[in-house]
Amino acid sequence: MSRPLQAKLTTTEHNNSGVSVIQSQTTASVAGLQRVPKLLPSAVGVLKAPPPSSEMKKPSAEKDSDEYRQRRERNNLAVKKSRMRSKQKAMDTQQRVNELKEENERLEAKIKLLSKELSVLKDLFLEHAHNLADNVQPPAGNGGGSSPAHNPNDTSANGQ
């Protein structure tokens, strides 16, 4: 008629904390008995029940009912809206990527132009500095460093 209940006991260590957790699982084939969820150890040693299985969920509405059709319609609209948002977000992101690429190209062209300008200005500066260095004459070595206005060998109009 009915089978006797079978019990299974196991002892396990949990996280080397020295606390033993006893799990028991009872199986019965007796009609009318409800299955009791098995308690499992959690990370902190507190026993938790596993999530409810599909057997314990509330019964869904019949596929022919108005409630079912309304829920399906709402769900279909929500899915459609979600997909549209996702596509719009992807398009916005792609547009932003294109804008940033264009800006990057403009900035790289500007860098190249400014680098050329800097090079030209450096060359001009170095040429000017070299010309100044060539025009500066060291003082004459004839004893006093006389100025050209007092030079007795000068036959120019200033020297008279």
The verdict on residue 147 lying in a domain is no
For the chain, strand residue ranges (E) read 6-13, 20-27, 40-41, 47-48
User: Which tens digits make up the pLDDT trace of 80-126?
Assistant: 999 999 999 999 999 999 999 999 999 999 999 999 999 999 999 99
User: Which tens digits make up the pLDDT trace of 23-38?
Assistant: 545 544 455 556 665 6
- Domain containing 102: what range? 61-134
- Looking at the structure, tell me whether residues 70 and 125 fall in a common domain: yes
- Looking at the structure, tell me whether residues 87 and 127 fall in a common domain: yes
Phi, psi torsion values for 130, nearest 5 degrees: -65, -40
The verdict on residue 151 lying in a domain is no
In the chain, the number of structural domains is 2
Q: Which residues lie across from 41 on neighbouring strands? A: 47
Question: Is the distance from CB of 139 to CB of 145 less than 8 angstroms?
Answer: yes
pLDDT for res 9? 46
- Looking at the structure, tell me whether residues 77 and 108 fall in a common domain: yes
- Looking at the structure, tell me whether residues 47 and 78 fall in a common domain: no
| pTM, 2 dp | 0.41
Question: Is the distance from CB of 38 to CB of 50 less than 8 angstroms?
Answer: yes
